[in-house]
Amino acid sequence: MWSRRAFLKAGAVGMFSLTLGGTPLFLCRAANAATTRKPQTLVCIFQRGAMDGLMAVTPFSDPNLKTLRPRIAMSATDVIDLDGHFGLHPGFRNLAPLFKSHQLAIVHGMGSPDTTRSHFDAQDYMETGTPGRKGTRSGWLNRAAGLMGHDHTPFSAVALTSAMPRSLYGDFPALAVSDLASFGVQEMPAGGSGSVSAGQSLEALYNNTTQDLLKGTGKESFTAVKQLSKEAVRSYRPANGAVYPAGQLGQSLKQIAYLIKSGLGIEVAFTESAGWDTHVNQGTGQGTFFQRAQELGNSIAAFWTDLGSYQDHVALMTMTEFGRTCGENGSGGTDHGRGSCCFILGTTVKGGQVYGQVPTLARENLEDQRDLPVTTDFRAVFSEVASKHLKVPAGEQLFPGYNGSRLTLMT
Amino acid sequence: MVWAFMLGLMLSAASVAQKPKLPYQQAGLTERQAAAYLLDRLAYGPRPGEIDRVVKMGLENWVEQQLQGAQPESPELTARLQKMPALALTPAELTQKYPPAPRVRNEAIQAGVISKEDKGDTDKKAYRQKIIQFGMSKGYRPGRELVNQLVGQKILRAVYGNNQLSEVMTDFWFNHFNVSLTDNQCRLQILSYERDAIRPNVLGTFRGLLGATAKHPAMLLYLDNAQSTAAMDARTSLDDKMDGLPPKAQAQAKQRAEQFKKRQKQRGVNENYARELMELHTLGVDGGYTQKDVQEVARVLTGWTVNPEVVGRKLPQLERAKKVGAVIDGGFLFRPDAHDSAAKVVLGRTFPAGGGLQEGEQVLDMLASHPSTAKFVTHKLACWFVQDTPPPALEKRLASTFQATRGDIKAVMRQLVYSPEFWSAEARRGKIKSPFELAVSSLRALDADVSPTRDLYDWITDMGEPLYSYQAPTGFPDGSSSWVNTGLLLTRMNFGLSLASKQVNGVKFDLARLNGGKEPADVNQALEVYSRLLLPERDTKSVVKLLAPKVNDPAFAQKIAEADNAKPQEPTMTDDEEGPRQRPKRKLGPVEPVAQVVGIILGSPEFQRQ
């Protein structure tokens, strides 16, 4: 791996020889910034489908659990004991050491003040950061990236998804790319030396257009392509013996790690994990939930190992649109509920703790007598992480209409 | 205002009195340049020979013909649309034919085809096959087919349609009143939404559009008005009605109503539609309404919901419901038992108690004719058709015309096209094509034979415009900067290169035929000929000058001579109907040098501009 400085220097030299104009502004600024600090990066993983928080982090000492979930309750022996009351699902086994080393915190009973049980609406509200309001133009992560106030690089805000997620809708230029190796201009082989380089031809055209936006963006694009060498992406080997799971999530996190280490200025990264809508046969120590948990847990753990010394500059947070019913349904699964839990990982996280309130699961303590009540507004957590890690103001600009408190969980 | 009204009258009476001229000469354009510009802005770009046709019929006549939007469709379009049976289905038929997967699964369980506990954990393939077989036996079709036909018709109409301005306006108004395929609740209704609510009104009146969208199931579901009811303790239109009954009947009716109310899971006002109605559809965010107005409009619209028959449910006791004030209008249902019947105050105007359904219509009237709406809507039109930041003088005139003509869209558009600002140097070529516009204008420029495929749809998605799938009610942001960023710009270039190398599935074209069957003599000629053909009436000198040294490589010239031997690669992707789609790896095979030149022109900055 290159050091960030060396890389930028090499990139800048390459630029001079290849373009007619000067070095793009962002590159100069980034090069200057590189001498002082590595950027802070926030990585968010959206768990689509609504994770069963009670299964992920089970209050195993609560006797109500077995009554509510005769077939799928996790007992003390099934889980990894975190604090004598809560236990981590065995699928998340690889996250347990991070909890023990106080880098991983859990917030339980987190959710939205809006009571919708629609995936679509609840995801929308969580991603815009404005529960109950659908018309919000931007996503909260886009606002967070914008509030950092840095000149953007092409990789400042990246979603490793095929379409732009709602979280990154907005004015700040964000990039959605499902595979970094496909980033670039295709060449049109006409058979050997005879071919025109489409990339070079187009670069010349964009350099000379009279339309400023096309000219500027064109320049940035061709620079980005040079920075992000396909060969390097393909041949990237994770450090410290990290092994990423083969699925989409693992590969996305691996590419995010690559972007972080390449010094391309990534500040906000987004990816997602699918399949949490466990209405049927969700299983216990094995089965559907276990498989999802294992992929998520192992991907995060591999990512963290891979980062090594970069850990100090990265925070990772999971989120899911709502939780699931406290009681199991007739199909051995759970239905749409309210509160769930999330993981926050980072060296400045005050980890090793389960934050938030989970009441004893007696029916009268449940929301609508069936769901885990939302005791922590998700914005209390998101704004804490954004303000402490990305150093952005956590006020109304980040979460319009929110004036609630922040949950202190980072130094 | 009076002045603008007079102008509007003058323009509409134009055919009687002296014909006004489009002010392109004042802007220094030739007639042919003006025709090319009109085709870029009011249509999806020129097809070969189209500039000649427009010039021949007269530019003003062409504009008027497009404003009327009543040209018979071409056989090449109708033949293609006929292959898409979903386009003719009613909303209820669509729901019936394209049931969501969980419903098919449930029905399969009820029919005993699979057991309730089985989730296909042991043999996923066999399990799925069982459900698919069951679905086919019931005449169901996969939802993907519906989406393909929905997207397909949009592409085909834009490529081949004779009423081009109507197509552009359909794109504009759908986006203005956006609903999204990402919302499972409304996705089956979107085809009908565009066909029945948007399309018939695109060049009609704004109020017509507003009413049609407000009452369409897609919008009612997407912005939750379908589930918005009077609060539990609020007095409803049904209560009003029951008070007029004789005592005995009254007691019975009240008992029934009370029981029904208890059975309902949730009752309460949902403000989502009311808010977006004012913020996004009419007044605009600074249009002068308050949160209190949002709450009041939401109460006005309680009981505006979806006719259950459209979403595949039976409507119990319809006749009895009609007697107590229920109203059915296609997919729309007004429920008196859910409508808050107390008095409301909206934007300072009092609506007395008991207004019922009419009260909602009056609020729509009021919003449609509000000066803020005129301003907000014409601003969006000017951004779309003229430039990203339109001149204030133009906006003012358009807003006045909107007001004076009570939202006559034709009148506003006519004035827009006849305005000098539309023809100004700043406006021309200032806008960047949306990904959809880019794709369609490329296909038109190449005179391509298009059968819409998933591949074309995926390209447009990858360039940043997933059709019918913008999740937020705002619609896609309009403005060049939202279409052009680092990743998206590269994808645009790659689209041009892939298209020219015949790597976009379902698209066929003949580059030699485009040039009257003539092979260019050398590479310089190829460059000149195809920049002229693909960028007609534009200044292509700089493109040619920049590219000439690159294509003038002797080895490249040699390739031109060998072009006959080069065979374009056959597309290999199959359009899978089930399961998550594996996108084909996009790698270009060997292509003719002329195709290379064409690919670079399509990817060039000049071709991105409108």
Give pLDDT, residue A345: 98
CB–CB of B65/B410 below 8 Å?
no
Q: What percent of chain B has pLDDT over 90?
A: 65
Of B556, B588, B600, the CB nearest to A189: B588
Confidence of residue B5 (pLDDT cuts 50, 70, 90): low
Alpha helices in B369-453 (DSSP H): 371-385, 392-404, 409-417, 420-423, 435-445
Interface test with B, best of A155, A186, A226 (most B CBs within 10 A): A186
Write the burial class of residue B132 (CB in 10 Å: 0-12 exposed, 13-18 middle, 19+ buried).
Answer: middle
Q: Are B284 and B372 in contact (CB under 8 A)?
A: yes
Alpha-carbon distance of A106 to A98, in angstroms, equals 11
Let me know: does B453 contact B521? Beta carbons within 8 Å. no
Contact between A298 and A64 (Cβ < 8 Å) = no
- Residue B608, H or E segment: helix B605-608
Looking at residue B429, what DSSP letter applies? Answer: T
Beta bridge partners of B340: B236
Q: What is the pLDDT of residues B376-415, one digit of tens each?
A: 999 999 999 999 999 999 999 999 999 999 999 999 999 9
Closest residue in chain A to residue B584, using alpha carbons only = A182
Q: How big is chain B, counted in residues?
A: 610
Summarize pLDDT for A235-290 with one digit per residue, the tens. Answer: 899 999 999 999 899 999 999 999 999 988 999 999 999 989 998 889 999 999 99
pLDDT of residue B4: 54
**Strands B344-346 and B349-351, bridge-based pairing:** antiparallel
The mean-pLDDT minimum among A225-234, A362-371, B202-211, B584-593 falls in B584-593
Quick check: A30 pLDDT over 80? no
Q: How far apart are CA B247 and CA B260, in angstroms?
A: 20
Q: A291-311: per-residue pLDDT in tens?
A: 999 999 999 999 999 999 999
> pLDDT digit string (tens) for B294-324?
999 999 999 999 999 888 887 777 788 888 8
Tell me, what's the pLDDT at B281?
Answer: 98
Give the model's confidence band at B590: pLDDT under 50 very low, under 70 low, under 90 confident, else very high: low
Q: Can you list the pairs that B355-359 forms with residues at least 24 positions away whose Cβ atoms lie under 8 Å?
A: B355/B300, B356/B237, B356/B325, B357/B303, B357/B325, B357/B327, B359/B300
Q: What is the model's pLDDT at position A29? A: 42
Task: Name the A residues in 324-363 with CB < 8 Å from any B CB.
Answer: 330-332
188-217 in chain A: CB under 8 A from chain B: 188-198, 200-202, 204-206, 208-209, 211, 213-215, 217
Average pLDDT, chain B: 88
* A residues 89-128 closer than 8 Å to B (CB): 118-121, 124, 128
Are residues A188 and B464, on separate chains, in Cβ contact within 8 Å?
no
Interstrand relation of A80-81 and A340-345 (parallel, antiparallel or unpaired) = unpaired
Residue entry with tokens 């006749």: B319
C-alpha pair distances (Å), B384 with each of A33, A344, B89, B222, B395: 39, 43, 32, 25, 12
Interchain CB distance below 8 Å, A173 and B275: no
- Written as one string, the DSSP assignment of B117-155 is S--SSS-HHHHHHHHHHHHHHTT---HHHHHHHHHHHHH
Q: What is the mean pLDDT of residues B147-173?
A: 97
Instruction: Return the pLDDT at B566.
Output: 39
Contact A162 B609 (CB under 8 A): no
Q: Give the C-alpha separation, B382 to B413, whole Å.
A: 9
Average pLDDT over residues A368-376: 95
What pLDDT is recorded for position B222?
A: 94
Q: How far apart are CA A294 and CA A287, in angstroms?
A: 11
- Residues in chain B closer than 8 A to A292 (CB atoms): none
Asked whether the predicted pLDDT for residue A25 surpasses 60, the reply is: no
Q: Are B411 and B419 in contact (CB under 8 A)?
A: no
Q: By mean pLDDT, which of A45-54, A66-75, B1-10, B149-158 is the weakest? A: B1-10
Joined together, the tokens standing for residue B610 give 């409108």
Are residues A213 and B486, on separate chains, in Cβ contact within 8 Å? no
**CA A37/CA A32 separation, integer angstroms:** 9
Q: What phi, psi does B390 have (nearest 5°)?
A: -70, 150
Q: What are phi and psi of B435, to 5 degrees?
A: -55, -40
SS3 labels along B164-199: HHHHHHHHHHHHHCCCCCCCCCCHHHHHHHHHHHHH
Tokens 């087919």 locate to B145
- Kindly report, residue by residue over B9-43, the tens digit of the pLDDT: 555 554 555 789 999 999 999 999 999 999 999 99
Decide if A200 and B556 are in contact by the 8 Å CB cutoff. no
Confidence grade of residue A13 (pLDDT, cut at 50, 70, 90) = very low
Residue A344: which of A51, A128, A103 has the closest Cα? A103
Query: What b-and-e string marks burial along A13-34, b requiring 16 or more CB atoms within 10 Å of the CB?
Result: eebeeebeeebbebbeebbebb
What 3-state class would DSSP assign to A277? coil
The alpha carbon dihedral of B261, B363, B477, B464 has a sign of positive
Pairing of strands B344-346, A314-320: unpaired
pLDDT at B368 over 70: yes
Averaged pLDDT, B209-232: 95
pLDDT score of B564: 37
Rounded distance, CA B479 to CA B481, Å?
Answer: 6
B548 pLDDT more than 90:
no
Mutate to test the interface with B, among A124, A153, A188 (most CBs of B within 10 A): A188
Q: What is the DSSP letter of B160?
A: H
Q: What is the pLDDT of residues A37-56, one digit of tens each?
A: 678 999 999 999 999 999 99
Going by C-alpha positions, the residue among A361, A357, A346 that lies closest to residue A300 is: A346
Calculate how close chain B gets to A154, using CA atoms only, in Å: 6
- In 3D space, the residue among A114, A73, A71 whose CA is nearest the CA of residue A361 turns out to be A73
- Give how far the C-alpha of residue B518 lies from the chain's centroid of Cα atoms, to the nearest Å: 39
User: Looking at the partner chain, which of B119, B477, B551 has a beta carbon nearest the beta carbon of A280?
Assistant: B119
Cα separation values, B62 from A408, B104, B171, B529, Å: 66, 50, 20, 27
Cβ proximity of A339 and A323 under 8 Å: yes
Q: Do residues B308 and B314 lie in contact, with contact meaning Cβ atoms separated by under 8 Å?
A: yes
CA distance B9 to chain A (A): 37
Q: Chain-wide mean pLDDT for chain A?
A: 88
pLDDT of residue A12: 32
- Asked if A44 and A266 touch (Cβ cutoff 8 Å), the reply is no
- Among residues B200, B160, B169, B191, the alpha carbon closest in space to that of B73 is found at B160
> What pLDDT score was predicted for residue B444?
98
What is residue B543's predicted lDDT score, i.e. its pLDDT?
86
Partner-chain residue, chosen from A175, A188, A280, that has the shortest CB–CB distance to B486: A175
Beta carbons of B473 and B280 less than 8 angstroms apart? yes
pLDDT value at residue A22: 34
Q: Which pLDDT band, with edges at 50, 70 and 90, does B571 fall under? A: very low
* pLDDT band (50, 70, 90) for residue A223: confident
**Residue A231 or residue B468, greater confidence:** B468
Higher pLDDT, B414 or B260: B414
ipTM (interface pTM) = 0.81
CA separation for the pair A274, A269 (Å, rounded): 17
Give the closest residue to B146 by CA, choosing from B108, B196, B100: B100
Mean pLDDT, to the nearest integer, of A54-72?
97
| Distance in angstroms (rounded) separating the CA atoms of residues B338 and B321 | 12
Give residue for tokens 């768990």: A47
Residue A353 tokens read as 């703790």
Q: What is the mean pLDDT of residues A70-95?
A: 97
CB contacts, 8 Å: B566 with chain A = 190-191
Q: Is the pLDDT of residue A11 over 60?
A: no
pLDDT score recorded for residue B121: 66
Rounded Cα gap, residues B33 and B39, in angstroms:
10
Q: Measured between alpha carbons, how far is B386 from B426 in angstroms, rounded to an integer?
A: 9
Residue with tokens 């042919």: B32
Closest in A135, A162, A185 to B279, CB measured? A135
For residues B551 and A196, is the Cβ–Cβ distance under 8 A? Answer: yes
Task: In whole angstroms, give the CA distance from residue A254 to residue A305.
Answer: 11
Question: Cα B9 to the chain's mean position, in Å?
Answer: 30
Distance from C-alpha of B265 to C-alpha of B258, rounded to nearest angstrom: 13
* pLDDT at residue B206 greater than cutoff 90: yes
Give me the mean pLDDT over the B433-453 stretch: 96
- Statement: residue B582 has pLDDT above 60: no
* Residue numbers in B near A332 (CB within 8 A): 117
Lowest mean pLDDT among A46-50, A99-103, B494-498, B556-560: B556-560
Report whether A343 contacts A318 (CB < 8 A): yes
Question: What is the residue type of B63?
Answer: V
Q: Does A20 touch chain B (CB under 8 A)?
A: no
What is the DSSP secondary structure assignment for residue B278, as one 8-state letter? I
How many Cβ contacts (< 8 angstroms) between chains A and B? Answer: 184
Section A362-374 average pLDDT: 95
* CB B231 within 8 Å of CB B261: no
**CA of B284 to nearest chain A CA: how many angstroms apart?**
11
The answer to whether A186 contacts B497, with C-beta atoms less than 8 Å apart, is yes
Pairing of strands A314-320, A41-47: parallel
Distance between CA atoms of B604 and B595, rounded to whole angstroms? 14
Contact of B518 with B533, CB cutoff 8 Å = no
In the block, which residue shows the tokens 């790896």?
B585
What distance in Å separates the CA atoms of residue A231 and residue A181, rounded to the nearest whole number?
Answer: 8
Write the single-letter amino acid at B606. E
What percent of chain A is predicted at pLDDT more than 70? 89
The radius of gyration computed from the CA coordinates of chain B, to the nearest angstrom, equals: 28
Q: Is A185 on the interface with B (CB under 8 A)?
A: yes
Quote the CA–CA distance of A271 and A295 in Å, as a whole number: 14
Which of A140, A172, A182, A201 is the best residue to mutate to test the B interface, defined by the most B CB atoms within 10 Å of its own CB?
A201
Instruction: Compare all CA atoms of chain A with the CA of B461 and give the residue at the minimum distance.
Output: A163
